[in-house]
Homo-oligomer: A and B are copies of this chain.
Amino acid sequence: MKAMLIKDEKLVLSEVEKPNPQSGEILIKIYAIGLNRADLLQKKGAYPSPKGWPQWPGLEVSGTVEAMGEVAKQKGRFKIGDSVCALLGGGGYAQYVCAPEGMVMPIPENLSFEQAATLPEAYATSYLNLFWEGHLKEGHTAFIPAGASGLASVAIPMAKAFGARVVTSVLSDEIAGKITPLGADVIINSAKQDVSEILKQEELNGTPVNMSMDCLCGETLGKSLPYMAEGGYWVVISTLAGTETSVMLRPLLTKGLHLVGSMLRKRTSEEKALLLAELVEIVWPKIEKGEMKPSIYKVLPLEDANEALDIIERGENIGKIILRVCNE
């Protein structure tokens, strides 16, 4: 089969052996692949696939069930030919991939393979960090910076669909205009406005931030923490704007705040299976009712993976980029 292997920080279309599913695994014939910033880091050698996964990138795919191991078959959730999507530890940039049965999900009704490929990583990451780590509740205020990122294009509508108020940030008024359809209540232009000052104002207005799912961090984190709501959770999911921050410990103490590091990839297989089961049970119906809609910025063929990751690196995309696999 074909796969995009990493050679000298470039992805190269290569011929590799088609994998066979182990007992608990499902072999997926891939139709579409969702791209993530982590793929870019992996291409540059900074974020290797965990043990047991192919060493090429790709954290989420959609496709059909091609074959099943014995235990996976016995679980009875899927049959050959079913349309599925899956969360992977790596190895999605290929024609086929094996995934543990618990990492495979049915596709919500009426979604295309391209749309379904946007779901596993971004929806699991958003759900994990908004609800498990961030304890987001109806009526809470969520701060989800980097509103133009692929992840925010999922996390913002998800938080809204569960009844939260959402504050986000972008780098220009132009981008603010483009992400309006996501439904954030407040869009901060961080080129012109001080994020922590706006969050201070939110507190004064009686809508302090209850949780943040923060991929930027840096000094803004430490400056913003004191304005959180009592018992708030600030979840660090990446550190794109800075790896260090000064934290005022008195507000942390007196407000009972939580500063938490969270990576989906670090979760055990059991935790991931539980998380995905909650996604299917709680979030898929919201997609099927149209309360959340997967948004795609661009679809490119698998062979153009380098170009696709360049788009992410340049920060051009609003929403997810998809690679289409030619399986004929």
Contact = CB atoms under 8 A, between A and B. Distances in A.
Interface of A: 217, 221-222, 230, 236-239, 242-263, 266
B259 A247 contact: yes
Contacts of A242: 249
B246 A244 contact: yes
Contacts of A253: 236-239, 261-263
B263 A249 contact: no
A192 to B, nearest CB: 25
A263 B222 CA distance: 20
Q: What copy number does this chain have within its complex?
A: 2
A251 B249 CA distance: 19
A242 B247 CA distance: 11
Nearest to A239: B249
A263 B252 contact: no
Contacts of A256: 260-263, 266
B258 A249 contact: no
Contact of A222 (B247, B248, B266): B247
Contact of A259 (B237, B246, B251, B258): B258
Given A255-B261, A256-B261, A247 B249 contact: no
Contacts of A245: 246-247, 249
A254 B265 CA distance: 10
A217 B261 contact: no
Contacts of A261: 249, 251-258
Contacts of A249: 217, 221, 236, 239, 242-245, 261
Nearest to A257: B261
Contacts of A237: 253
Contacts of A254: 261, 263, 266
- Among A249, A251, A258, the one with the most B-chain Cβ atoms within 10 Å of its Cβ is A249
A236 B252 contact: yes
A228 to B, nearest CB: 10
Given A245-B249, A256-B266, 9 more contacts: A230-B266, A236-B249, A239-B249, A247-B247, A249-B261, A252-B260, A255-B261, A256-B260, A259-B259
